[in-house]
Structure 1
């Protein structure tokens, strides 16, 4: 009890350290009391998970301990409730300790602390059993808030070496633990390794220790507080020197010190956000047009003439005319607003009109951004922030695609019915342009004093072409490079989720590095490292190839600032105009390596992705050579800019940090559950289908994933093979049609041979675990490559092989003959029952059909009497077939869905007979939904009803 003073200053007093001690004791008590009670009462239940139990798993996870069982859940919740009071007091005292005049950071950290406390209550009192989604939302929010809370506390720590040392240790242990935590979680969830969840649990409990321990260090800081409430040492009056102050004094004049050494202004963070959104719109338009162009040769089966729309990107060449260049620079707001018409393209139902509107928009936005960069050539910090907005806008577009399963929600192929956000996206875009391009908000002038050296404008333009192509071909989706290194099951490398977030992080880190250290990023050493990354990505697979991909992503983003800075030193037509022109050349090269069978001279570059990568890096090398002269001259002679101007970059970094945290959250929410269940498990029925999906773009040029999902789910397919499914190229938008369907319907997914294998793609989705899968490229000496997936699935405890195969085209009979012999031997060599889901390009009972169905292959046709086939076939061996149906595709694609039913565990009968549907058990029947007129244009056709066998 404190003394009572006559003036009433003190009524009760105690040392502030007891707030921290109370918080620490009750927080630990909450978790460890639940652990002790849980182990004592429900040990075998809380160590059990969806795959294994005791003795394979012998230590419980945090969630299993505190989540659902009485009384351990009650122990935990009671102690956590008691902890909430000291927790709020701890946050309040930390704010009092660190608050200073004219400083917003302590307020922000305090706000994060309160938010973090509330979300802790959320995941504590709403368990995964109560509401799985809200439990995850609260948990993710808590984990996200931990990063700014930790960094904020480190920055604001009083200059107490002991406390700062312990905080650094605890923070390092906390974030370092996340790596093995995620590793063992993947080992458990994806690979189903016995004991992996126990190891995961140890790291999960370690996170609790380090998290609470980090806040316990406030004991050392609160010793100077006596809660009267009265400040006995004057430490709350803004006179305290913090760790951040010491660092900023030490780093004064360096990039970090200049960036974060000033106050925080909400108007400027809004400006940065709007700038980044404008960059996002640019990348939306730049990646959206090729998808529209692809639609026309796809449906014309050859060059259509609409391909010329790609040339819209070369619009900056018109800035060679002085009057146009002057008009563009003086009317940037109008030019950027005009480019937004692409976001209205979804209103046009006719594909050609949608293409023309988007092409106009792309031409306008390329000219607008070129004029924007050129207009800022005399203002170093403003040019830098425009480049950052452009680069972070790219990352924002990648995050948006990551959230929407590789579709950009503002693309012209999207609308409200298939997941588009067009209206709200357009509204935000208009506001962003109006905010970012206010009158008198740009500058002109010479970048260097007279006599400053310039590199070659031609080489600068070549460098920009290489930069643009590298970004659009490989960095506009987080899963593109992952598909390059994917080689099938078992998983031996990265997967699109969660590792797409790692790709996004590498891109962001590269951009920041290029901004802070342009001379290093622009060096030949960095170029050499980037080239090594490109080589690893091109020639290696699994983790080795992915490490190369991360190096490549880092370098390309780091190269953007110095290449663009070099380009603005010259006429925009001779750099950006030339660059976009050469970008079109690289884009066509990129298409020809796989579409060689459809274009004049195509065989000259057949399957030469390595040539394309070499060309790209040589182009970037030309840009490095030019920038070495231009930017070194600028570095020597340009006047230093004020710290107030350099502070602008910090706001863009805040936006980037928010996007990175969002990417991590998306990765967590989309993490595969791998707990999939077949539709008729009790009957041991397998429903398998084959569908040529024509790249997931429907007959009216809309993204078709949701319509595909609906019909596949209603058909109750357990295994489905997709053909013509590889969209990981510029002209297809760098997307993956399997992701949304697999996640929404619950399938394991094998992407099949990647885009660097030069095929049109094949994919396998399965409700059953994929034990092993091998990718094949069948003999194709003349025509296009024929991809195949040979997978072994665990169907109700039995190993069954499934092959998904796309034969070569009709014009190349020798290719198709060689492919039929290869596949026949492959199927015949399998000792297991096998299902072939295929596109064979042959008539029933004729030609190559008799190679696929032969003594060598040991395969049987699911229905030899079905005479109306030319492409799709389902063959099998060693299984009991029970049903076969053909389902119309409506306007989703140009090919029907063929479906077969098989029973596992029953011998293949020697003599089969057709039977009427009423004799078939209900669990073995096809859905009645598709009888008659069916639903949404999908119905049983050719036979008007399914066929069944006994």
Structure 2
């Protein structure tokens, strides 16, 4: 066995703080050196951006300074390379400083520090000019690692008030600066505010300096260290010196972040991660049920009978039978296993009916499992809190997964490896989580175990069930996708409110903030004051647009996740069979209720609730109010005693929940919050879009009814839609039947993925709370202005319309997107025709109508659409084989028209027209393709048999006009 210590001649002694000083100097030299050189040699170049230059912008950003030009890029890279040595030593010394026997936290933190150092090298030596994607990946990874590094350094810091204080100030300042940093970046990128990029750059440099300064604090800690180099074999000529070898360690009593324990337990973190992943699986399964059901009435054009499976969530009624309740409590992991197998594995089944039945079984098992585990753990406050935390964090994770995948959950049965699904990956992760749960099961208390001090529940279980119903419906309908409420308040261009990207990350942040608030201040979360704030937020969301409405949405979001532990914790005090049967039954009624308000024409009695989102929201809050009333009745005696004695009733009530356990869930929340920011960053659009044939001053426009982006075989069609639009070289496209922001449709938004993938501006049209099936506009040209219209519909469904003005080749062009009412509602369609014809006739600018009219060419309403009143002309009056889709135009030169077959993507073809801006309208004379300039020709890809079922049909080839 080798000796633990060897004597020898000391040849060098390096004070520990010198490592920190060297790190600070070299890092500072890298950034400041590049800044000085850049400003000296290329000042006007590095302050310039894609919109403005000097003197509007006068301060360079970090990325422009260090990565764009020689020699400042080389100065930065040389000093960062030198900095890497002190950086690795700094991580090592910090590990030596905080390491304790039997603790994994220091090892984990030093691992994060090393990873962070490596990613710094990644974005340093792979510049955005070299490879923009990898540069961003390394940068985002660096920022992700900064959170655990900062938090870990603070928590593990030795009990030195000076270092703790400085780390808190500098770490807090770093993250605080990210808020204005993002704000001014959006002002520059989205709103193109002059000078905003300079302000953004100032905050960016502040973040860099704070990051370097945070690590500079280690100089205080390392003052007690010396690095000693000994010659143990006498090969040097060094002198012996007395060296301090050991630093006295003291157990610190942390006063900051009292929830965190100084010890780190990997098993407890694994418990929390497994709970969160099972929560993610449950929400993935529950949210997939609606979209699986939706396929059937969609293709039947009415009730199909399959809608009855929406009631599969009432399975907790079985827990009203004592033997089954005990059996379920003892076999929760098995119930969860079947939930995951049936739900996540449904994608492997071929037929839509099989996938629906598999998901139905998964929802049945999942709802039964969650109620059983809540009921089983009701006597242990720590375990119950853990299960509820995992439930809410699972919802947050599900929302982030959708945000990262174009608002489609990658585990859904409508997804597979060809259209963006990650089914196999998430299934493997599920097996790992459920395997860990099986290992943990032996520590669980048997069902029915109640602590001796537990008091009988007061009041009626009906109220508790109502509260759970309202809560579950609100969480599902509003928070299962981070863009849902943003689209509620969307009002068009110019942008005066939030955007799905990046502001969806704000919604996710509010969800996490609400959960933390509810855990630490349950008395306040259950109070009528909080309920009032949540109700006001709901009212603002329902009644107002833009930022005013969104601020209400954020207030409601915080309230909903804050009150979740209270309402669920109260509901499990009652008998689970009747309480949760009531809850899920009323929840299902609310799901149908919020579909009927827009689908009233297809269901019996539907007109009674026509267009009443306000009724749905009011009912939701009243149901939650019932749960709050029941929770207040059942608040425990300890809380009541605190109130009488004058103690702050907003503080956490007595709760045996372990602090370290709670910290693990907060760590997961922090990770998810940063992940959502990274997703928003990576999805942020470039806004550098160009039309396909700008040299020809051409506009290629299309109209397509995408049938809620579910194809003939119940697969998500986003990617196939995108591929056809790209191959058709469309500069403008109107999409109809595009609003999926309801539970029955999965709370999705296909326009987000299409806009980002195709590089187009997007206008969603009238929002989900406007009671339509949706219309949207995608444009390669900037949308200068847009207004949304709900056209007259006295008897039938509301018909949505968009009136947008685009800037095409320096000229303003009006674009109208419209979806007419149903064939049965003759008077509706007549009034809608009058309304839209008047609207189109009100502009003398060049205009294009992309529409769904339900009329025959030359008959009835057609003669109002194509008339002196509207000023519009039919793109091809000779095309008699049309009923639904039409393209009209005025004051533009029409050069081409084509019809593309739908394949199996949807139920309606894609119609396309080509126009030239700035030229007379031309004649109706047909000309051969050989006489048409190449920039005005349609792609040859779709001739003959075409590709993937898409080909030119009806005319069998495009038509061109002189």
**TM-score normalised by the shorter chain: which range applies?**
over 0.9
Partner of 1:708: 721
1:924 to 932, 936, 940: 936
What's the offset of the Cα at 1:550?
1.1
What's the offset of the Cα at 1:632?
2.4
What's the offset of the Cα at 1:8?
4.2
Q: Deviations over 1:859-909 (max 9, x none)?
A: 111111110111111011111111000000111111000000011222333
| Residues 100, 239 of structure 1: 8 Å contact kept | no
| Residues 224, 232 of structure 1: 8 Å contact kept | no
| Residues 44, 54 of structure 1: 8 Å contact kept | yes
Provide the rounded CA distance (Å) in 2 between the counterparts of 1:95 and 1:45: 43
Q: Secondary structure at the match of 2:634?
A: helix
Provide the rounded CA distance (Å) in 1 between the counterparts of 2:435 and 2:853: 56
Provide the rounded CA distance (Å) in 2 between the counterparts of 1:332 and 1:171: 42
Q: Secondary structure at the match of 1:823?
A: helix
- Report the CA distance shift for 1:156/1:272 in structure 2 as closer, same or farther (over 3 A): closer
Q: Secondary structure at the match of 2:733?
A: strand
Provide the rounded CA distance (Å) in 1 between the counterparts of 2:454 and 2:109: 48
Partner of 1:540: 544
Partner of 2:518: 514
Partner of 1:225: 225
What's the offset of the Cα at 1:653?
2.0
Q: Secondary structure at the match of 2:591?
A: helix
Provide the rounded CA distance (Å) in 2 between the counterparts of 1:182 and 1:636: 44
- Pairing 1:734–2:747 present: yes
- Report the CA distance shift for 1:159/1:313 in structure 2 as closer, same or farther (over 3 A): same
- Pairing 1:246–2:242 present: no
What's the offset of the Cα at 1:596?
1.2
Partner of 2:99: 99
2:478 to 474, 477, 480: 474
What's the offset of the Cα at 1:943?
0.5
Q: Deviations over 1:110-167 (max 9, x none)?
A: 2222221111111111111111111111111111222222222223334444443333
Partner of 1:907: 920
- Pairing 1:365–2:373 present: no
| Residues 16, 227 of structure 2: 8 Å contact kept | yes
Once the two structures are overlaid, the 10-residue window that deviates more, 638-647 or 154-163, is 638-647
What's the offset of the Cα at 1:637?
10
| Residues 96, 236 of structure 1: 8 Å contact kept | no
- Pairing 1:13–2:25 present: no
Q: Deviations over 1:43-78 (max 9, x none)?
A: 232222222223332322111111132111111111
What's the offset of the Cα at 1:399?
1.1
Provide the rounded CA distance (Å) in 2 between the counterparts of 1:263 and 1:515: 21
Provide the rounded CA distance (Å) in 1 between the counterparts of 2:893 and 2:657: 76
| Residues 100, 238 of structure 1: 8 Å contact kept | no
| Residues 875, 897 of structure 2: 8 Å contact kept | yes
Provide the rounded CA distance (Å) in 1 between the counterparts of 2:496 and 2:550: 11
Q: Secondary structure at the match of 2:944?
A: coil
What's the offset of the Cα at 1:516?
2.1
- Pairing 1:880–2:888 present: no
Q: Secondary structure at the match of 1:417?
A: coil
| Residues 462, 578 of structure 1: 8 Å contact kept | yes
Partner of 1:410: 411
Once the two structures are overlaid, the 10-residue window that deviates more, 840-849 or 105-114, is 105-114
- Pairing 1:933–2:930 present: no
Partner of 1:251: none
| Residues 332, 437 of structure 1: 8 Å contact kept | no
Q: How does 1:370-519 map to 2 (within 5 A)?
A: 370-438=371-439, 439-443=441-445, 444=447, 445-447=449-451, 449=453, 452-519=456-523
| Residues 188, 196 of structure 1: 8 Å contact kept | yes
Provide the rounded CA distance (Å) in 2 between the counterparts of 1:578 and 1:613: 19
| Residues 225, 232 of structure 1: 8 Å contact kept | no
Partner of 2:831: 818
Partner of 1:76: 76
Once the two structures are overlaid, the 10-residue window that deviates more, 155-164 or 185-194, is 155-164
Provide the rounded CA distance (Å) in 2 between the counterparts of 1:717 and 1:690: 10
Provide the rounded CA distance (Å) in 2 between the counterparts of 1:204 and 1:813: 59
Partner of 2:238: none
Partner of 1:600: 604
- Pairing 1:674–2:694 present: no
What's the offset of the Cα at 1:715?
0.4
Partner of 1:3: none
Provide the rounded CA distance (Å) in 2 between the counterparts of 1:893 and 1:418: 15
Q: Deviations over 1:344-369 (max 9, x none)?
A: 22222221222122112211211111
Provide the rounded CA distance (Å) in 1 between the counterparts of 2:656 and 2:822: 63
Give RMSD over aligned pairs.
2.2
Partner of 2:960: 948
Q: Deviations over 1:456-502 (max 9, x none)?
A: 21100000000110011111001101111111111111111111111
Q: Secondary structure at the match of 1:884?
A: strand
Provide the rounded CA distance (Å) in 2 between the counterparts of 1:63 and 1:732: 42
- Report the CA distance shift for 1:341/1:863 in structure 2 as closer, same or farther (over 3 A): same
Provide the rounded CA distance (Å) in 1 between the counterparts of 2:195 and 2:961: 45
Once the two structures are overlaid, the 10-residue window that deviates more, 722-731 or 226-235, is 226-235
- Pairing 1:651–2:664 present: yes
Partner of 1:844: 857
2:589 to 585, 589, 597: 585
- Report the CA distance shift for 1:433/1:872 in structure 2 as closer, same or farther (over 3 A): same
| Residues 27, 80 of structure 1: 8 Å contact kept | yes
Q: How does 1:787-806 map to 2 (within 5 A)?
A: 787-806=800-819
Q: Secondary structure at the match of 2:410?
A: coil
Q: How does 1:861-876 map to 2 (within 5 A)?
A: 861-876=874-889
Gapped regions of structure 2 (runs ≥ 5): 1-5, 230-240, 643-651
Q: Secondary structure at the match of 2:776?
A: strand
Q: Secondary structure at the match of 2:135?
A: helix
| Residues 805, 838 of structure 1: 8 Å contact kept | yes
Provide the rounded CA distance (Å) in 1 between the counterparts of 2:812 and 2:246: 70
Provide the rounded CA distance (Å) in 1 between the counterparts of 2:222 and 2:429: 45
Q: Secondary structure at the match of 2:914?
A: strand
Once the two structures are overlaid, the 10-residue window that deviates more, 173-182 or 751-760, is 173-182
1:574 to 570, 574, 578: 578
Provide the rounded CA distance (Å) in 1 between the counterparts of 2:242 and 2:803: 73
- Report the CA distance shift for 1:289/1:12 in structure 2 as closer, same or farther (over 3 A): same
Q: How does 1:323-334 map to 2 (within 5 A)?
A: 323-334=323-334
| Residues 511, 557 of structure 1: 8 Å contact kept | yes
Provide the rounded CA distance (Å) in 2 between the counterparts of 1:538 and 1:852: 34
- Report the CA distance shift for 1:866/1:423 in structure 2 as closer, same or farther (over 3 A): same
Q: Deviations over 1:187-212 (max 9, x none)?
A: 22112223222222222122222221
- Pairing 1:153–2:153 present: yes
Once the two structures are overlaid, the 10-residue window that deviates more, 52-61 or 804-813, is 52-61
Provide the rounded CA distance (Å) in 1 between the counterparts of 2:246 and 2:914: 76
Partner of 2:781: 768
Provide the rounded CA distance (Å) in 2 between the counterparts of 1:704 and 1:574: 41
Provide the rounded CA distance (Å) in 2 between the counterparts of 1:71 and 1:640: 61
Gapped regions of structure 1 (runs ≥ 5): 1-5, 249-255
What's the offset of the Cα at 1:236?
3.7
2:622 to 618, 623, 628: 618
| Residues 448, 637 of structure 1: 8 Å contact kept | no
Provide the rounded CA distance (Å) in 2 between the counterparts of 1:412 and 1:940: 32
Provide the rounded CA distance (Å) in 1 between the counterparts of 2:819 and 2:524: 47
- Pairing 1:690–2:703 present: yes
Q: Secondary structure at the match of 2:532?
A: helix
| Residues 319, 325 of structure 2: 8 Å contact kept | yes
> How many residues are treated as equivalent by the alignment?
933
What's the offset of the Cα at 1:557?
0.8
- Report the CA distance shift for 1:733/1:634 in structure 2 as closer, same or farther (over 3 A): farther
Partner of 2:109: 109
Q: Secondary structure at the match of 1:935?
A: coil
